[in-house]
Amino acid sequence: SIPVAIVAGIGRGAREGMLIKGGEFLETTARVTAVALDKTGTLTHGTPAVTDVRPAAGVTDAELLRWASAAESGSEHPLAAAVIAAATDAGVAPHGVADDVAPVPGHGIVATVQGRRVVVGNAALLVAEGIDGGAALADEAEVSAAGRTTVVVALDGVVLGVLGLADTIRPDAAEMVTRLHASGIRTVVMLTGDAERVARTVADATGVDQVEAHLLPEDKLAAVQRLQAQGHVVAMVGDGVNDAPALAVADIGVAMGAAGTAVAVETADIALMRDDLLALPAALDLARRTVRVMR
Ligand code: ADP
Ligand code: MG
């Protein structure tokens, strides 16, 4: 039979917007020693906006946005919505919608639009596609040095230009990290698929202890396993499809439920149903109090 304290703990969690999927998860949560956090959509709102439009020589802003937005019409990534919004704001009609879009996790997309091949993603995707970045790589480096997320756009193997995007950090992110530290969690790690410089900017603003950038979904999983190999009981917090493997391998997977993807919510052991990061330290606190009552 399930101890009364556990039932009460799950009920209290539910009232505070935490969906705890079983009593065993409260007991494990009480033993957590390290927290791993996704960046985009977890520490940040995950609703970036385009800040820089840098077309290659001989290409117009409109042409760059036209192809990029048509390709992104088939993607569910937060960056895709930002690119489409930028095109709409600029009064640019996209080249129809994409006929086919293949996501390349952690890197971008490869789309077919009107029979043409459009690649939208990071510099590593260009390399993988065998496309010469040329002068656009200098623009990419400059925008990225300013702390922004960059995506390069190529049409039939020729670079059209670079877009810079900025996301906003959640107002309660720094407070959450402070509370985790105060509760004795000394290892708070940010895991992101984004570039190093962007990751650093968010790390400095939130006070996380460690940062790992350029991670693919399987790298996030490996990072959680490395913490476990060091003896940590790990809680992983994420919102995206790219976080699901890490959420599954963590001792406790926590999904940002309000804005998170269905896959993340399904994979997690605890879903935070409100748009409130402070629910994470609150969940650790609730778990510890619940287990203490049982002893
Ligand atoms: P995070 O781990 O921070 O949530 P992702 O793994 O989802 O980030 O994405 C990593 C990087 O891959 C992005 O910063 C971007 O450069 C590129 N990328 C992924 N999806 C897209 C897309 N639909 N359009 C453009 N770029 C993308
Ligand atoms: Mg994310």
Atom of ligand 1 minimally distant from the CA of 242: 6
Identify whether residues 244 and 188 lie together within a single domain: yes
User: Is this complex's ipTM strictly greater than 0.90?
Assistant: yes
Identify whether residues 16 and 32 lie together within a single domain: yes
Q: How many separate domains does the chain show?
A: 2
**CATH number, residue 228:** 3.40.50.1000
- At residue 280, the pLDDT reads 96
Nearest CA to ligand 1 atom 12: 107
- For the chain, strand residue ranges (E) read 18-20, 34-38, 49-55, 100-104, 108-113, 116-121, 149-155, 158-166, 187-191, 210-212, 234-238, 252-256, 270-272
* Amino acid in the structure at residue 148: R
Q: What is the pLDDT of residues 63-88, one digit of tens each?
A: 999 999 999 998 888 899 999 999 99
Q: Which residue has the tokens 């970045």?
A: 133
Identify whether residues 183 and 283 lie together within a single domain: yes
Nearest CA to ligand 1 atom 27: 108
Identify whether residues 135 and 151 lie together within a single domain: yes
Identify whether residues 162 and 220 lie together within a single domain: no
> From the candidates 38, 167, 194, 243, which is the catalytic residue?
38
- At residue 284, the pLDDT reads 96
Q: What is the distance of C-alpha 287 from the center of its chain? A: 26
Nearest CA to ligand 1 atom 7: 106
Indicate which ligand has the atom closest to the C-alpha of 101: 1
Distance 36 CA to ligand 2 centre (A): 12
Identify whether residues 191 and 128 lie together within a single domain: no
Nearest residue to 118 (alpha-carbon basis) of 65, 166, 77, 78:
65
Nearest CA to ligand 1 atom 18: 108
Identify whether residues 115 and 186 lie together within a single domain: no
The residue segments making up the domain with residue 221 are 4-45+168-294
- At residue 258, the pLDDT reads 77
Indicate which ligand has the atom closest to the C-alpha of 39: 1
For the CA atoms of 177, 76, 72, 168, the dihedral, rounded to the nearest 10 degrees, stands at -20
Nearest residue to 204 (alpha-carbon basis) of 4, 43, 23, 57:
43
3-state secondary structure string across 118-157? EEEECHHHHHHCCCCCCCHHHHHHHHHHCCCEEEEEEECC
The tokens of 103 are what?
């996501």
- At residue 2, the pLDDT reads 77
Distance 195 CA to ligand 2 centre (A): 13
Distance 293 CA to ligand 2 centre (A): 35
Domain closes at, from 110, 133, 166: 166
User: For this structure, is 219 an active site residue?
Assistant: no
Tell me which residues have their CB closer than 6 angstroms to ligand 1: 38-41, 72, 75, 77, 79-80, 106-109, 120-122, 149, 151, 192-194, 240, 242
Judge contact between 227 and 234, C-beta under 8 A. Answer: yes
Indicate which ligand has the atom closest to the C-alpha of 41: 2
Distance 295 CA to ligand 2 centre (A): 37
Sheet holding 187-191, edge to edge: 18-20, 270-272, 252-256, 234-238, 34-38, 187-191, 210-212
Identify whether residues 172 and 162 lie together within a single domain: no
Q: Which residues in the chain land under pLDDT 70? A: 1
- At residue 106, the pLDDT reads 87
Q: Which residue has the tokens 């993340």?
A: 264
**CATH number, residue 152:** 3.40.1110.10
The model's pTM = 0.87
Identify whether residues 73 and 216 lie together within a single domain: no
User: How far is 188 from 146, CA to CA, in rounded Å?
Assistant: 25
Distance 193 CA to ligand 1 centre (A): 6
Identify whether residues 41 and 187 lie together within a single domain: yes
User: How far is 153 from 148, CA to CA, in rounded Å?
Assistant: 16
Identify whether residues 194 and 151 lie together within a single domain: no
**Taking the CA atoms of the chain, what radius of gyration do you get in angstroms?**
21
